[in-house]
Structure 1
Amino acid sequence: MSQPEASLTDRLWALTSDPVRLRRVSIVLALLFAAILAADTILAEGRVNMRGEHLGGDFLAFHTAGEMVLEGSALDAWDATSFETALQIREPAIEWYGLTWQYPPAAYFLVTPFALLPYKLSYWLWMLAGLVVFWCCFRVSFEGNLPGKTAPLLILASPIILVTLVQGQNTLFFGGLLMIAAALPDRRPLLAGLAAAALTIKPQLGLLIPVAYLFGGHWKAFGYAATFSLVLSGIATLAFGLESWSAFFDAITRVENDMAGGGALYPFNRIISLYGALGALGVPHAIALSIHLLTVLGLAALVALVWRSDLPLQAKAALLIPATLLCSPYAYYYEMVPMLFSVAVMISMIGTRNLNAAERWWLMLSWPLVLYLPMIQGAVPVQFGFVITASLVALVARSVMSASAAASAPAY
């Protein structure tokens, strides 16, 4: 008797759940990416690549800001016109960059050392440093108990990592810190507190950490985070002056005004929050922001409820990370990097055999879909980044609630 033909779901699941196949796909993808990026860097003339775009994506903004610090013009980086002028001086081949600098003063401590090196070398060191930091943070977050032997390849060669490298973004650094801050406040409160304090450099990635620490009773980690945040801010103030904070808040106000006017500099199709999803659909700014803020309150309540429970801390962290990403109205798609921790926790907790059909489809589609977000978002109204992030919150919440209910059920 012949076997029934496998369905599309079964075929896709066999492809995406087989460790050997995933390892091979990861190796091929990583090698192909490295070869393309190496050729792009080598053949670039100055800071302009073969496609006539600036090499390194947003890293150009980080490197330029660091150079402005070394030149003694750190305050000018927060002014959009002055920053564009600085970019044009360094590479006039591109008519308009549209890059801006809106990080707090302490961010200069990260980017300035890279400005000491030539641009191309600095860009590659930036990428390698980001990969090392992220992988080390991932390992530490799991305390060495990684979910599977293929984890290094599946994590470091995942599409969202590659997209982040192409963009030259800093999310590998701060995504790693978010994993540490979320996963270790009980066992390593000092390390978690330091990580949470460092996240004040990219504050949108730490919005729900105080809620988690307070309702989870992690007072040591909370105290360390508050103390080192004040120390970091104080050192930055001494280095760049009180006026640096005024310039920083002016830059933030400029971002808000741009978004309210339709997102000329910060397009909605790259933003994964509910605010971005509503903005892409044409919902007016005030209404979209109000709905977003109500959602943030709901996410904070969910995090508080879960972190008050007796669930394993890894499960709590797995929920905290995607919920945090949804809180910032201006979170970009490349900030989805730390969600790899949540996916790994979900799989290791409940096992792939116990996933229902919806969860299987999510795992099959979310891993590769992120690679194409920048290219497909302009053609469709649905914000895939928001769908993926929100669905992960729902899946983890469902999993941890089910585990909690099972643990509290009376035995017969």
Structure 2
Amino acid sequence: MSGPITIEAPGSRPGALWADLKDLAGNDARLFAFAMRAAWVLVPLTLAIVVVVFGTGPEPRRNWYGDMLGNDFSQIWVAGRAALEGRGGEPYDLPVHLENLKAAFGPDCRFAWHYPPVFLMPAAAFATLEPQPAFFVWTALSLAIFAGAMLFAAGRRDAAWIALAHPLVFCNLTYGQNGLFTAALMTFGALLVDRRPWLAGLCFGLLAYKPHFAALAPLLLLITGRTIGLASCLATALVLCLASLALFGTAPWIGFLGTLGETNRIILQKAAAGLELNASAFGAVRLLGGPILAAWALQALVAALALALAICAWTRPVESDLRAAALLTAAPLLSPYLPVYDLVPLVPATLLLVLAAHRTGGLRRNERALLLATPLFALLREGAGLTGFPLGLILALATLACIADRIRPWRLSAERRSALT
């Protein structure tokens, strides 16, 4: 005989759903299981969208949105092709670079090249292929290196798989940007700094193609007296600069140094890429309609807080995962120009934060709230454009706050004063 049949009263179903959601939000095991199931859907879906929608199209060198094949990757390919053909200085001559983009991808392909000449080396390597296979190789390689970094950080495949489902990974792949390479190198460097200091320095030095991200690591290495890592970092950066000079001559370096002021005008003052793209504190003030002076003031404050947290994490007895997470979160916040795709170091930072929480009794309420809110940031640029609200900065600051709560520098100071007395 079966048991009695119960009929749910009207309105009980929403109440049961709310109770179930509360249990999900308060149960680490259920939250992890849910994230794992979501990842099995989102990761293959992400790859399919990137390959089919952004990597193919109805016209040669155009995707199904009608944009350039690979979006931002298009100018990496064009700059690399110019360098291959002995015209390495052309990417730094904006009118000439725009003509090269137009000839390759059409008149609406208009990007300014701001990278230092060391980036011409990988760009030239990819430009040996035609744009479509080059984009596919770029996508596969960036995702593979990033996945390897996440696996190295987590030490377990399931957690690394969940990290690949993060909206910022999808954002980076659709733009065809280099943020996954950047986040991977920073992650490897931050976690290897004590075990393999020379290798950590090598990873940090390879970030020379993105100087505003590369600056924090050697500063921390200097402050903490990690001389092997610092020497390896500086030597790697020097070798890259000399190699680019030997391969492409002096024209790219002269052009790069000559365009630094123009880069500031185009990116920060004119916001040519769009106010909604810049997720920095500077960008947030400009998005909200504030003056440039106020934007610089808030940028200085946020950068100082991020730098202070990173220094605290690297100079005090903090576990290695949290120390690495502090570097990964602080580095992007130091720059006044922070495109949403460059927020991707927050992914390994969040992963390391969760791992630290797992070892010490589970997630705290603020950390759980950060994880639950993550899907809301799937369309960072579009959301900022529609609402006028700096969603990217909010995500970065929320991550920084959770790491600060774990490190608790004020508590460490109190404990040290207590020990002295």
Same fold flag (TM > 0.5) = yes
2:115 equivalent to 1:107: no
Which position in structure 1 is the counterpart of 2:143? Answer: 131
1:234 matched residue in structure 2? 242
Distance change (3 Å), C-alpha of 1:16 and 1:54: farther
Matched residue, 1:33:
46
The equivalent of 1:116 in structure 2 is 128
Partner of 2:346: 339
1:65 aligns with 2:73: no
Structure 2: distance between partners of 1:261 and 1:225 = 32
Deviation at 1:227, TM superposition (A): 1.8
Residue among 364, 368, 383 paired with 1:360? 368
Where 1:43 maps in the other structure, the secondary structure is: coil
Preserved CA contact (<8 Å) 1:75 1:244: yes
State the SS of the aligned residue for 1:187: coil
Aligned to 2:396: 389
Instruction: Note closer, same or farther for the CA distance 1:19–1:56 as it changes in structure 2 (3 Å cut).
Output: same
Shift of residue 19 of structure 1? Answer: 3.4
In the alignment, does 2:157 pair up with 1:157? no
* Amino acid paired to 1:281: L
Query: Does structure 1 conserve the Cα–Cα contact (< 8 Å) formed by 2:118 and 2:241?
Result: yes
| Ranges in structure 2 where 5+ consecutive residues have no aligned partner | 1-7
* CA distance in 2: counterparts of 1:406 and 1:27, whole angstroms: 45
Judging changes above 3 Å, is the alpha-carbon distance between structure 1 residues 100 and 126 closer, same or farther for their aligned structure 2 residues? Answer: same
Rounded to whole Å, the distance in 2 between the matches of 1:153 and 1:275 is: 33
CA shift at 1:63, angstroms?
0.8
Partner letter of residue 156 of structure 1? L
Q: State the shift of 1:118 in Å.
A: 1.6
Map Cα deviations across residues 220-270 of structure 1 (whole Å, 9 max, x no partner).
10111112212221222222233322211333322211245341x222211
Q: Contact between 1:274 and 1:329, CA under 8 Å: does it hold in 2?
A: yes
Q: Which of 242, 249, 257 in structure 2 is aligned with 1:249? A: 257
Once the 2 structures are TM-superposed, how far is the Cα of residue 74 of structure 1 from its aligned partner? 1.4
Match of 1:47 in 2: 61
Kindly provide the amino acid, as one letter, of the partner of residue 399 in structure 2.
L
Unaligned residue ranges in structure 1 (runs of 5+) = none
The partner residue of 2:35 within 6, 15, 22 is: 22
CA RMSD, Structure 1 to Structure 2 (Å): 2.6
Q: Hey, what does 1:216 align to over in structure 2?
A: 224
Q: Distance in 2 between matches of 1:269 and 1:125?
A: 29
Q: Which residue of 1 aligns with 2:387?
A: 380
- Over the matched positions of the two proteins, sequence identity in percent amounts to 26
Aligned-residue offset at 1:290: 3.6
Q: SS of the counterpart of 1:269?
A: coil
AA matched with 1:39: V
**1:295-344: CA deviations, max 9, x gaps?**
32333233222211121222111111111110011111111222222112
Residues 91 and 348 from structure 1, CA distance in 2 versus in 1: closer, same or farther, beyond 3 angstroms? closer
1:358 to partner: Cα distance: 2.9
Contact 2:329 2:399 in 1 (8 A): yes
Displacement of 1:149: 4.3
The DSSP-based 3-state class of the residue aligned with 1:117 is coil
Residues in 1 aligned to 2:85 and 2:382: alpha-carbon distance in whole angstroms: 37
Pair 1:188–1:44, CA change in 2 (3 A): farther
- The answer to whether the 8 Å contact 1:211/1:300 transfers is no
| 1:174 Cα deviation after fit | 1.5
| Number of residues of Structure 1 aligned to a counterpart in Structure 2 | 401
TM (norm. structure 1) is 0.89
In structure 2, C-alpha distance between the alignment counterparts of 1:251 and 1:231, rounded to whole Å: 23
Structure-1 residue corresponding to 2:233: 225
1:79 counterpart (52, 69, 93): 93
Aligned to 1:267: 274
TM superposition shift of 1:377: 1.1
> How has the CA–CA distance of structure 1 residues 342 and 85 changed in structure 2, closer, same or farther, with 3 Å as cutoff?
same
Seen in structure 2, the aligned counterparts of structure 1 residues 13 and 163 have a Cα distance that, compared at 3 Å, is farther
> For the residues of structure 2 that align with 1:350 and 1:299, how far apart are their CA atoms?
21
Contact 1:16 1:364 in 2 (8 A): no
Q: CA deviation at 1:50?
A: 2.2
Correspondence list, 1:314-325, <5 A: 314-325=321-332
Q: Distance in 2 between matches of 1:257 and 1:9?
A: 48
Distance of aligned partners of 1:20 and 1:106 in 2 relative to their CA distance in 1, 3 Å threshold = same
